[in-house]
Structure 1
Amino acid sequence: MKYLDPRADLTFKRIFGEHPDLVISLLNALLPLKAGEEITEIEYLPSEMVPDNPLRKFSIVDVRCKDRQGRQFLVEMQMLWSPEFRQRVLFNASKAYVRQLETGDGYALLQPVYSLNLVNEVFEPELEGYYHHYAMVHVEHTERIIDGLQLIFVELPKFTPHTFAEKRMQLLWLRFLTEINEKTRVVPEELLEVPEIKKALRVLEESAFTDAELAGYEHFWDGISVEKTLYDSGKREGRAEGLAEGKTEGLAEGEAKGEAKAQRLIAANMKKQGVDIETIAQCTGLPIEEINEL
């Protein structure tokens, strides 16, 4: 039996965007829900339109849904990491939170928004854990939380089955996402024992896709390679120039200049591609005034 990689656009959306029971299982396993808060039923919402530019065309895959209580769940597979990604996640979650109300509605109708972000790169190298949960908490009394936005980031490359303290289903879903791919010939028995994951594996079987879909699947991975090359080359060039400029000012300042230079180069390339200024600002974190001057 040959399987496809579940992280690709085609497969991720086929598994979690067409099978409510599977996305419910994933969310209950990975979200910081208390006893009694488990998701039991969902309806799908339209996916966010990802800007059509060279740095974001392929690397973001998203599934959106809400449960019968009105809580919204944004699930993203982020194949490539960039510095502005946290701000983008906060922006989209905030937008989903605000859009719940129509003109004249009371704030009491607002329900929490959970943003689950599965990241295929390490972006917190100084932290040991792979699971990062952000919430609005009291600085001095962290048990006091303003309910509304919950942001969860999972660094998939950091995950190993031998270093975990999570729930069993969390472990198994993360194993599914990190271990199953085109090279898989024998699936671990512990994954096959879980009905939801066994069903997800059936969805991943190569024979379940048409030739056109398989061609699109290959195109997705080619696109990821191109995006990574574009981003890394811009980052390397900017870092090198920044380091050269900052040698006399210290390594740390030079690296900071390198990051800033990389973002400006990326913005300039996007501008040449005809991407609108607001999208460039959102993707790079640069002020609109600075982008206009590039």
Structure 2
Amino acid sequence: MMYLDPKADLTFKKIFAKHPDLLISLLNSLLPLSDEEQIVEIKYLPNELVPELYGRKNTIVDVLCQDVSGRKFCVEMQMEWSNAFMQRVLFNASKLYVTQLQKAEEYETLKPVYSLNLVNEIFEKDMPDCFIHNYRIVHDKNTKKVIEGLHFTFIELPKFTPHTFLEKRMSVLWLRFLTEIDSDTREVPADLLESPEISKALEEVKVSSFTDAELRTYDKFWDTIRTEKTLLKDKYEKGIEKGAIDEKIATAQRLLAMGLSVDQVATATQLTLEHIEKLKNSLNTK
């Protein structure tokens, strides 16, 4: 049996934007909800968050829904991390929160907004043992004092290993599904197949359940991801190279100011004699 990676845009939406029971299971498993806060029923909302004022940004989320109590849930599968992504998440959730209130309604009617963000990159490198990051608005000296309304969960999928998250079995199964199943999968572990929810999700990512046009869209998605990664890598390497040259120039300027000859500075910094001469001339004209 051949499968597609559930993290792709096409497959992720095919699973969670069309099967409310699977989305409810995912949210209840991965969000920090108490037993009393568990979601029992949802309705899907348009996943395009349309701005009400001209000039504001239009943003797209993977899946957007609301439960019977009015709480809203925003789910995103993010393949690449950037600092701008966290700001976009904050923007999306804030917009969902403030657009609830209609004219003449009281602020007390506002319901919480939960944002679940699955990230396929490591972005908290200084926290190697923590892959689930939950954020709320808390007091800076007493974190038990909370302003309710906005809840954010970020999950670093590459950090996940089954033994690190054992308190909820369904959490482990969903994270294993997202991290273990891909286009190279030919045989699914038995414990994944034993779960009705995971088994249903697996049916949705079988290659045989996609049309040729959908498969082309799937391939194009991964081509785009690879291209973006290459461009980011090139940009990073160019930045490193520029930084190294800037450091050599600063060193050369210090050595010239100390009275070393052009030849000595060129040898020490590996910059060309012509480059050192120009630096020396610019220092002499100051």
After TM superposition, the score normalised by the length of structure 1 is 0.77
Aligned to 2:134: 133
Where does 1:1-294 land on structure 2 (aligned, <5 Å)?
1-48=1-48, 62-127=62-127, 128-242=129-243, 244-245=245-246
| Matched residue count | 241
Aligned to 2:266: none
Greater mean deviation of Cα atoms: 14-23 or 227-236: 227-236
* CA deviation profile, 1:255-280 (whole Å, cap 9, x unmatched): xxxxxxxxxxxxxxxxxxxxxxxxxx
Amino acid at match of 2:68: R
Tell me the SS of whatever aligns to 1:74. Answer: strand
Contact 1:89 1:115 (8 Å CA) reproduced: yes
Matches of 2:84 and 2:203 in 1, distance apart?
36
* CA deviation profile, 1:143-175 (whole Å, cap 9, x unmatched): 121111011000000001122244111111000
* Structure of larger gyration radius: 2
* CA deviation profile, 1:157-215 (whole Å, cap 9, x unmatched): 00011222441111110000000111111111111111111100111111111011111
Greater mean deviation of Cα atoms: 128-137 or 230-239: 230-239
Amino acid at match of 2:69: Q
How far 1:230 moved relative to its partner?
2.2
* CA deviation profile, 1:72-100 (whole Å, cap 9, x unmatched): 11100000111222111111111111111
Contact 2:45 2:66 (8 Å CA) reproduced: yes
Amino acid at match of 1:195: P
**Taking structure 1 as reference, are residues 105 and 186 closer, same or farther at Cα in structure 2, changes over 3 Å only?**
same
Aligned to 1:264: none
**Taking structure 1 as reference, are residues 232 and 104 closer, same or farther at Cα in structure 2, changes over 3 Å only?**
farther
Matches of 1:139 and 1:249 in 2, distance apart?
41
* CA deviation profile, 1:83-137 (whole Å, cap 9, x unmatched): 2221111111111111111233211111111100000000001102100001111
Amino acid at match of 2:26: L
Greater mean deviation of Cα atoms: 216-225 or 229-238: 229-238
**Taking structure 1 as reference, are residues 183 and 61 closer, same or farther at Cα in structure 2, changes over 3 Å only?**
farther
Contact 1:9 1:61 (8 Å CA) reproduced: no
How far 1:226 moved relative to its partner?
1.2
Tell me the SS of whatever aligns to 1:197. Answer: helix
How far 1:49 moved relative to its partner?
6.4
Matches of 2:165 and 2:248 in 1, distance apart?
41
Aligned to 2:267: none
Amino acid at match of 1:34: S
Structure 2: state its 5+ residue gaps: 51-59, 252-286
Matches of 1:45 and 1:183 in 2, distance apart?
33
- For the aligned residue pairs, the C-alpha RMSD in angstroms reads 2.0
Contact 2:31 2:116 (8 Å CA) reproduced: yes
Greater mean deviation of Cα atoms: 136-145 or 201-210: 136-145
**Taking structure 1 as reference, are residues 154 and 249 closer, same or farther at Cα in structure 2, changes over 3 Å only?**
farther
How far 1:232 moved relative to its partner?
2.6
Matches of 1:101 and 1:148 in 2, distance apart?
13
Tell me the SS of whatever aligns to 2:162. Answer: coil
Identity %: 59
* CA deviation profile, 1:57-85 (whole Å, cap 9, x unmatched): xxx86111110111111100000111222
**Taking structure 1 as reference, are residues 68 and 49 closer, same or farther at Cα in structure 2, changes over 3 Å only?**
closer
* CA deviation profile, 1:24-73 (whole Å, cap 9, x unmatched): 000000000011110011111111369xxxxxxxxx86111110111111
**Taking structure 1 as reference, are residues 113 and 92 closer, same or farther at Cα in structure 2, changes over 3 Å only?**
same
List 4+ stretches of structure 1 deviating above 4 A: 246-250
After TM superposition, the score normalised by the length of structure 2 is 0.79
Contact 1:12 1:61 (8 Å CA) reproduced: no
Tell me the SS of whatever aligns to 1:151. Answer: strand
Contact 2:134 2:152 (8 Å CA) reproduced: yes
Tell me the SS of whatever aligns to 2:64. Answer: strand
Contact 2:165 2:171 (8 Å CA) reproduced: no
Structure 1: state its 5+ residue gaps: 51-59, 251-294
